[in-house]
């Protein structure tokens, strides 16, 4: 009996832990969020503006149009094998 008297605190702690475990098991579980399918990672090319757009002196509207058209065709060619272009 003396030995059981010394275990009173341990028995109460065990009872409290067991009751807490039962209460948590009785609670309804939270719904699981549906998993989003992984979207494919986009392939973005890094390009340097200085390498693509060469320094030029433009003196007429035709010079500007030619320069812009060369930029457009070069950028469109770069876009053909990737998802985007990042200009640094």
Is the distance from CB of 52 to CB of 71 less than 8 angstroms?
Answer: yes
pLDDT cut 90: percent of the chain above it: 19
pLDDT given for residue 73 in this prediction: 92
Global model pTM greater than 0.75: no
Q: What is the pLDDT of residues 23-55, one digit of tens each?
A: 888 888 778 888 787 788 888 888 888 888 888
pLDDT given for residue 8 in this prediction: 79
* Domain spans of the chain, in order of start: 44-87
DSSP run (H or E) holding 53: none
């Amino acid at each position: 009996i003396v030995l059981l008297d010394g275990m009173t605190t341990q028995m109460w702690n065990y009872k409290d832990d067991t009751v807490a475990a039962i209460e948590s098991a009785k609670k309804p579980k939270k719904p699981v969020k549906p998993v989003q399918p992984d979207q494919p990672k986009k392939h973005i090319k890094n390009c340097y503006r200085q390498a693509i757009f060469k320094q030029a002196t433009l003196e007429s509207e035709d010079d500007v149009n030619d320069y812009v058209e060369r930029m457009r065709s070069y950028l469109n060619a770069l876009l053909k094998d990737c998802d985007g272009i990042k200009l640094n």
